[in-house]
């Protein structure tokens, strides 16, 4: 049986993300998946509703796995429940830092990482301009607080990524403007650029892409609002 996920998802005890087996921290968790199409699916194994297989962003996942191959440090910026962190771990990435603004998703993700032995740290902060007052809400959660910059975190922890996934719904330009040291090292990028959220803040997709071009980035694949990019 296939269930289309929209706002709510009751997760089974055991989930496969791609080919990676993920043990969830409770029998039944209600979490939000930011799904914009009907391609996010849970397929249960026969009649066993404790074991499921998840198909999320099927167009993006194969390119992400190629991008992650051989990488050592991954920043998952806007981690939500950590889907791409799971994929990075499956690809062999050695260090993972997941930035998640909402305490509910951050707590869920941290518990799941611990349960599965995923070598990841969860930072419960927004990413943008240092000290920037940031707000987020969806049907389940709300969050407000001051942002940190990626350069600030990297400098303080002497940890620089060679792969970044970013999905922060309108704060991507602010985050990238404050990631000069990181972008100068030319990590591979998987970035979601949300035109409507940017427009609400007086910004645009072109501004984001033009900023990245200054660092030598080129688009190697795009779909909907997602861009996979590498720098020369």
Higher per-residue pLDDT: 35 or 131: 131
Return the pLDDT at 108.
84
More confident residue, 100 or 20: 100
Mean pLDDT of 70-95: 92
Q: Are 80 and 105 in contact (CB under 8 A)?
A: yes
Q: What is the pLDDT of residue 219?
A: 97
Cα 103 from Cα 149, distance rounded (Å): 18
**Structural tokens at position 58:** 């099927």
Judged against a pLDDT cut of 80, whether residue 111 lies above it is answered with: yes
Domains defined for the chain, CATH in brackets: 58-231 (3.40.50.150)
**Please, is 208 exposed, middle or buried when counting C-beta atoms within 10 Å of its C-beta (0-12, 13-18, 19+)?**
buried
Residue 2: pLDDT over 60: no
> Is the confidence at residue 55, as pLDDT, over 70?
no
The predicted pLDDT at position 14 comes to 57
pLDDT tens profile 193-219 = 989 989 998 999 999 999 999 999 999
Read off the pLDDT band of 119 (50, 70, 90). confident
| Confidence at residue 161, expressed as pLDDT on a 0 to 100 scale | 99
Would the pLDDT of 22 be above 90? no
């Amino acid at each position: 049986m296939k269930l289309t996920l929209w706002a709510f998802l009751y997760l089974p005890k055991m989930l496969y993300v791609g080919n990676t087996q993920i043990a969830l921290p409770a029998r039944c968790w209600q979490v939000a998946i930011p799904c914009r199409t009907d391609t996010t699916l849970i397929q249960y194994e026969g009649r066993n509703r404790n074991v499921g297989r998840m198909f999320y962003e099927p167009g993006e996942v194969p390119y992400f796995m190629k991008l992650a191959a051989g990488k050592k440090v991954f920043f998952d910026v806007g981690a939500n429940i950590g889907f791409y962190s799971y994929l990075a771990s499956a690809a062999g990435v050695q260090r993972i830092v997941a930035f998640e603004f909402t305490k509910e998703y951050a707590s869920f993700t941290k518990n799941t990482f611990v349960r599965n032995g995923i070598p990841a740290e969860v930072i419960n902060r927004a990413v943008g301009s240092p000290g920037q007052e940031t707000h987020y809400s969806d049907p389940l959660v709300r969050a407000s607080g001051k942002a940190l910059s990626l350069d600030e975190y990297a400098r303080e922890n002497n940890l620089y990524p060679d792969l970044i996934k970013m999905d922060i719904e309108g704060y991507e330009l602010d985050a990238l403007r404050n990631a000069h040291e990181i972008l100068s090292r030319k990590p591979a990028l998987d970035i979601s650029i949300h035109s409507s959220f940017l427009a609400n803040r007086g910004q645009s997709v072109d501004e984001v892409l033009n900023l990245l071009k200054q660092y030598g980035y080129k688009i190697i694949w795009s779909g909907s609002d997602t861009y996979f990019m590498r720098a020369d």
